[in-house]
Structure 1
Amino acid sequence: MTPDVFSPVSLGPVRLRNRTVKAATFEGRTPQGQVTDELIAYHVAPAAGGVGITTVAYLAVAPEGRTHKDVIVVGDDTLPGLARLADAVHQEGAAIAGQVGHAGPVANGRSNGVHGIAASRMPSPLSMQMVRAATEQDLTRVTKAYVDAARTLVRAGFDVLELHMAHSYLISSFLAPGLNRRRDRWGGPLERRARLGRQVARAVREEVGDACAVTAKVSVSDGFKGGVTTETGLEFAQLLEADGHLDALQLSGGSSLMNPMYLFRGGAPVKEFAAAMPAIVRWGMRTPVGKGFMKSYPFEEAYFREKALRFREGLSVPLMLLGGVNTVATMQQAMAEGFDFVVMGRALLREPDLLLRMQTGEVTSGICIHCNRCMPTIYSGTSCPEWEPERVIPVPAVTAT
């Protein structure tokens, strides 16, 4: 029997009110890397609007693992704010997930004040610096940092930990043969390239046990030559499933480093994105290489569906379908095809109360036009340029405690 997308469901040890997930999209509301009232209000809105899980983006496990200097590094100094955020979301009846990751080569070393690390040495188009190859000591330290971050987030009351293994972040950079040229035990055949991701998943699960759910974001295709292909992504997912440390996999795609628009689809806001970047990056985006960075892909509903179906056929672990989910019909189709959750990003940014209105039958689709002009706003406070305040539910005032 096909489940109703709005029916309760269990994700590992966590009981959820429905099968919808707000995707991790950087909020731009963490100056100095701290939780703010604005960040809390940002997540309270979709929580009050009916989502099952809202996901806090870019929770870095180490300083060099931030995408830039204002990203939260999970630790004792950020624990009180994270706990306050979790409490506010819980008060609205939703669960809260933390996207736990190390940006690897996607980190802006110039902003962070420390060079990034990756599977292999490479130039960074973000900082115009060289990213160094991670050492054995680095990988031991980073694995421990994932464990420490997981422990802190459990203390803060987070229900789900989403381990970031896609988009050319550190773990993903090891998976992509074009980014991993190593000849040691971390490079070569997929089984060795997958070692870091499997090691992190095991270490985190051993730390948290059943205190929370643990998932991973994996790629159905990176969208660039030398990246993770659908075949490689599925094989990696099968290794993770066989290890048995994860409660679900979230299926994504694209590369924040090499091909970000493969993930977003729709309009490519090149001018707006360049205007929001530092001068050195704006210059780089005017070069032939930079111009090719923001490719244009036409939007279509559930654009990762065909690739995701190959994962569904080859796996038994619960799967979360992401990418262009905007209508009740798409959600129902996903349930009928065996997906366990649907993940929404831009649609909920445009209309945080969309799911409540879908449940009541007021609407059957969102109104996001997929212009992607929200993308450059991550540096000033992620928002929708097409925002219609009168359509948004009131958000309770959030004050410091």
Structure 2
Amino acid sequence: MSYLLKPLQAGPLTLTNRLVMPPMATAKADPDGKVNQSILDYYAEKSEGGYLSLIIIEHSFIQLDGKASDLQLSVSDDSVVEGLNKLAEVIHRNGSKTVMQINHAGSNTTSEVTGSTPLAPSVVPHPRRKVLPDELTREDMATIIQAFQNAARRTKEAGFDGVEIHAAHGYLLHQFFSPLTNKRTDEYGGNVHNRIRLHLQVIEGIRAAVGDDFPILLRLGTSDYQEGGLTIDDSIVAAQEFEKAGVNILDISGGFCGYIVPGLSGQGFFAPLSEAIKKVVSIPVILTGGITEILAAEQLLAEDKADLIGVGRAVLNNSKWAEHAVKSLR
């Protein structure tokens, strides 16, 4: 039997195959971040037939000062739950499972988007932005933990199958993890364990809010691919801590490089990262990165590079990609 067509159990989550649609921002939400018909139609089309076992919804902001861009989805207050419930229902009707990705942008935004000065672990400009952020206080961090917790609760209330914490691509949690942006001298800075302290507090807060039977995924920016930045060695330590803390699936991606790395190409270019993480955890690992051919996806699973395969751009460009892929393997 095909590796891709094997079912997978991840904690309380049962998946029919190994194909995942990773989160990709659409900028289709209403100005206030609410779900509209355009978003419902988009995800209805992508999930048609249930060929993708799991659809991870694009990153959604947990509070206004963490909003990354205009027309981004919101999980920031209870008024959004009704629309999110419609979104979950559309995908479920088509036969796929779905989780929400929740995020705080930190300094990876602008005051034009948020209406306030961006916040970050330290007063260091974001590698992709010129603005100097304000440094987060303890009170700010407590508020952010609470916001993640409330966003996860809303995700569960809306009927999703799980929640994914965004800790990659240069957003707030990644900014804490990376030595490039975390210059703190308190217990949130310095060694790897200190730099993931906020992650662990967020996981603990979410688990308390959603209970043990609701899957938590974490998208981990595993390497910055930059001098002085985050390395796979840091992420190997972090991944083991996240598993201990109760994360059910690790979704492996890049750090400040984002989801594309200059000089890295080919099918599954993050495979060295996912393979290294997979060796040290017992929970499933998702691999994304330039995967466009079904046989390449099959090969990556066969070689134990990952447990699940995220196919983004190919599905974005062709909504029938997963259907053709699955049928070709049957």
TM range, smaller chain: over 0.9
Whether the 8 Å contact between 1:159 and 1:213 is mirrored in structure 2 is yes
Partner of 2:324: 357
State the partner residue of 1:11. Answer: 10
Q: Secondary structure at the match of 1:218?
A: strand
Q: Which moved more, 1:157-166 or 1:233-242?
A: 233-242
Task: Provide the C-alpha distance between the structure 2 equivalents of 1:202 and 1:236, rounded to a whole number of angstroms.
Answer: 15
After TM superposition, the structure 1 = structure 2 runs for residues 127-166 of structure 1, keeping only pairs within 5 Å, are 128-166=130-168
Q: Once the 2 structures are TM-superposed, how far is the Cα of residue 335 of structure 1 from its aligned partner?
A: 2.3
Amino acid at match of 1:337: E
Pairing 1:1-400 to 2, within 5 Å after superposition:
4-32=3-31, 33-49=33-49, 50-74=51-75, 75-123=77-125, 128-243=130-245, 245-255=246-256, 259-260=257-258, 263-265=259-261, 296-297=262-263, 299-338=265-304, 339-361=306-328
SS at match of 1:97: strand
Q: Which moved more, 1:63-72 or 1:191-200?
A: 63-72
Contact 1:61 1:73 in 2 (8 A): yes
Q: CA deviation at 1:211?
A: 4.2
Q: CA offsets per residue over residues 119-150 of structure 1, 9 Å max, x none?
A: 10123577753211111001100001111011
Query: Which whole-Å CA distance do the structure 2 matches of 1:16 and 1:315 have between them?
Result: 19
Cα-to-partner distance string for 1:54-74 (whole Å, 9 max, x where unaligned) = 111121111111102422231
CA distance in 2: counterparts of 1:297 and 1:108, whole angstroms: 29
Report the CA distance shift for 1:308/1:15 in structure 2 as closer, same or farther (over 3 A): closer
Distance in 2 between the 1:335 and 1:325 partners? 12
Q: Give the 3 Å change call, closer, same or farther, for CA 362–329 of structure 1 in structure 2.
A: closer
Rounded Cα–Cα distance in structure 1 between residues aligned with 2:107 and 2:201: 19
Distance 1:131 1:97 in 2: 30
Greater displacement, 124-133 / 32-41: 124-133
Q: Structure 2: any 5+ residue segments left out of the alignment? A: none
Aligned to 1:290: none
Mapped partners of 1:247, 1:362: distance in 2: 28
Post-superposition CA distance 1:267-306 (Å, at most 9, x none): xxxxxxxxxxxxxxxxxxxxxxxxxxxxx43531111112
Q: Is the 8 A contact 1:23 1:343 kept in 2?
A: yes
The 1:148–1:70 alpha-carbon spacing in structure 2 relative to 1, beyond 3 Å, is: same
Name the CA shift for 1:362/1:248 in 2 (closer, same or farther; >3 Å): closer
Aligned AA for 1:302? G
CA gap of 1:126–1:79, structure 2 versus 1, over 3 A, is farther
CA distance in 1, matches of 2:118, 2:106: 6
* Residues matched between the structures, number: 326
Aligned AA (1:4): Y
Whose radius of gyration is greater, 1 or 2? 1
Q: Aligned in 2, Cα 1:98/1:235: closer, same or farther, shift over 3 Å?
A: same
How far off its partner does 1:26 sit?
A: 0.2
Between 60-69 and 9-18, the greater mean CA deviation after superposition: 9-18
Counterpart CA distance in 2 for 1:115 and 1:72 is 21
- Distance (whole Å) between structure 1 residues aligned to residue 230 and residue 134 of structure 2: 21
SS at match of 1:21: strand
- The 1-side partners of 2:213 and 2:307 are apart by 21
Whether the 8 Å contact between 2:28 and 2:72 is mirrored in structure 1 is: no
For residues 79 and 301 of structure 2, what CA distance do their matches in structure 1 show? Answer: 41
Question: 2 CA distance for matches of 1:202 and 1:336?
Answer: 34
Moved more, 93-102 or 307-316: 307-316
Question: Contact 2:315/2:321 (CA < 8 Å) preserved in 1?
Answer: yes
Alpha-carbon distance in 2 for matches of 1:125, 1:13: 38
Alpha-carbon spacing, 1:124–1:190, altered in 2? closer, same or farther (3 Å): closer
Deviation at 1:232, TM superposition (A): 0.9
* Distance in 2 separating the partners of 1:15 and 1:203: 24
**Could you tell me how far 1:34 is from its partner in structure 2?**
1.4
SS at 2:27's partner residue? coil
Q: Counterparts of 1:100 and 1:55 in 2: how far apart (Å)?
A: 10
TM-score, structure 2 as length reference: 0.93
Give the letter for the 1:34 counterpart. Answer: K
CA distance in 2, matches of 1:123, 1:309: 32
Counterpart AA for 1:37: Q
Distance in structure 2 (CA, Å) of the matches to 1:114 and 1:126: 18
Shift of 1:231: 1.0
Q: CA deviation at 1:3?
A: 6.4
- 5+ long unaligned stretches in structure 1: 266-295, 364-401
